[in-house]
Structure 1
Amino acid sequence: MIYTGGTIGMRPGHRGLEPGHDFEQRARVQLDRLPAERRAALPRFHCLAYRDPIDSSNTRPEHWARIAHDVLAHQHEYDGFVILHGTDTLAWTAASLSWQLAGLNKPIIVSGAQQPLEVESGDALANLEQALRFAACPGLAEVAVAFGGRLLRGDAARKWDTHAHQGFASPNANWLGEWLDHAPVLHVTRSRPPEGVCRPMPWPLEAPPRVARLALWPGIDSDMMARLLTPELQGLVLEVWGSGNVPEDPALLALLSTATRRGCLIVAISQCPHGSLAMTSYATGHALRTAGVIDGGAMTPEAVFTRLSHLLSLGLSPQQCRHHLVP
Structure 2
Amino acid sequence: MTPIRRVLVIYVGGTIGMERNENNVYAPSPNKLLQKLKFHSQMHDQVLAKKFIGELGYNQLVLPEIGNEVVLYELKEYNPLLDSSNMCSKDWIRIANDIGKNYDKFDGFVILHGTDTLAYTSSALSFMLEGLQKPVILTGSQIPIFETRSDAKDNILSSLILAGCYKIPEVCIFFANKLLRGNRTAKISSIHLNAFDSPNYQPLAEVGIDIKVNKHFILQPTSPFQVHTKLNSNVGLLSFFPTITPCMFRAILQCPSVEGLVLQSYGVGNIPSNRTELLQVIEEAVRRETVIVNITQCPQGTVSATYETGKALEKIGVISGHDMTAEAALTKLCYVLGIPGLTYEQRVLLMKENIRGELTNNNNIY
Same fold (TM over 0.5): yes
Report the CA distance between 1:185 and its aligned residue.
2.2
Per-residue CA deviation, residues 109-164 of structure 1 (Å, 9 max, x unaligned), is 00001111121221000000011011024320100101110000000011111121
Per-residue CA deviation, residues 180-205 of structure 1 (Å, 9 max, x unaligned), is 21x53211157215889832324xx7
**Which residue does 1:272 correspond to in 2?**
298
In 2: Cα distance, 1:247 partner to 1:40 partner:
59
In 1: Cα distance, 2:42 partner to 2:114 partner:
23
In 2: Cα distance, 1:97 partner to 1:184 partner:
25
**Which residue does 1:223 correspond to in 2?**
247
Contact 2:286/2:317, CA 8 A, preserved across alignment = yes
Q: Report percent identity of matched pairs.
A: 35
Unpaired runs of at least 5, structure 1: none
Contact 1:112/1:124, CA 8 A, preserved across alignment = yes
The residue identity in structure 1 corresponding to 2:324 is: M
Report the CA distance between 1:268 and its aligned residue.
0.4
Within the alignment, does 1:21 sit opposite 2:30 as a pair?
Answer: yes
Within the alignment, does 1:184 sit opposite 2:194 as a pair?
Answer: no
The counterpart of 2:166, out of the listed 135, 138, 141, is 138
Per-residue CA deviation, residues 17-47 of structure 1 (Å, 9 max, x unaligned), is 1111222232232354689997212611111
Residue pairs, 1:60-209, within 5 angstroms: 60-181=88-209, 183-188=210-215, 191-193=218-220, 198-202=226-230, 208-209=232-233
Root-mean-square deviation (CA), in Å? 2.1
**Which residue does 1:321 correspond to in 2?**
347
Within the alignment, does 1:235 sit opposite 2:272 as a pair?
Answer: no
The residue identity in structure 2 corresponding to 1:67 is: I
**Which residue does 1:306 correspond to in 2?**
331
In 1: Cα distance, 2:239 partner to 2:318 partner:
15
- Secondary structure in 2 matching 1:45: strand
Unpaired runs of at least 5, structure 2: 1-8, 49-62, 355-366
**Which residue does 2:287 correspond to in 1?**
261
Structure 1 or 2, whichever has the larger Rg, is 2
In 1: Cα distance, 2:249 partner to 2:173 partner:
34
Q: TM-score, normalised by structure 2?
A: 0.83
- Count of residues paired in the alignment: 321
